[in-house]
Amino acid sequence: MGNCAILLRDVWTKKNENGESVLDYVQAKLVYLERYETSDNPTPTMLVVDSKTVQNADTAEEKGYDGGKKSGVKILIAVDVLGMPYVTLITTANVTDRCGAVLMFSSPGFSLSSLQTVLCDGRYTGDDFANKIYELTGAKVQVAKRSELHTFVVIPKRWIVERSFGWLDKFRRLWKNCERKL
């Protein structure tokens, strides 16, 4: 890695007094400004959470295997109803979705006083998880269950996070992890 790349990495990852990086700060400000222009409330009351395992390159130093036998890293995101990202986390694929979500919401700099609901799928069930999220955020966990009819049904609000992953898949560096470092 060249000197310029190291300098840029250090600038973007430097932490402020709240423990958040410059990149996290810029993202939060851009999301706030976009919500301020497009919605009635600039801070969301609901976040939709999901994760996705992304294949690693062979040269990656850190990788894990998820339950679906995929090798790589796991991307966890929490988006609002507009699809704006509020919290993101990248871990090795062997970290469970529940543990990853707890890590994501306990990250430095995350605070959302207006948050009331965290919507997620069946992989996030359990009282321990719901209690930990309530302790960290003050929000209740709502699990959106799939239809028992075994037919395709759009689950209300869950499509928002799926659409966000669809948008991310358009960028090569986010559908295959080519980096050596996590």
Q: Distance (Å, rounded) from C-alpha 163 to C-alpha 179?
A: 24
Residue 154: the pLDDT is 57
Cβ neighbours, 10 Å, residue 114: 12
pLDDT averaged over consecutive 10-residue blocks of the chain (182 residues)? Answer: 55 69 77 80 85 76 72 86 84 88 82 85 89 91 71 67 80 62 62
Residue 11: the pLDDT is 63
Residue 179: the pLDDT is 62
Residue 148: the pLDDT is 56
Q: Distance (Å, rounded) from C-alpha 26 to C-alpha 32?
A: 10
- Is 138 within 8 Å of 115 (Cβ atoms)? yes
Q: What is the CATH number of domain 43-175?
A: 3.30.420
Residue 65: the pLDDT is 73
pTM of the model: 0.76
Residue 44: the pLDDT is 82
Residue 174: the pLDDT is 60
Residue 155: the pLDDT is 65
Question: Cα–chain-centroid distance for residue 99?
Answer: 12
Q: Coil, strand, or helix at residue 49?
A: strand
Residue 177: the pLDDT is 61
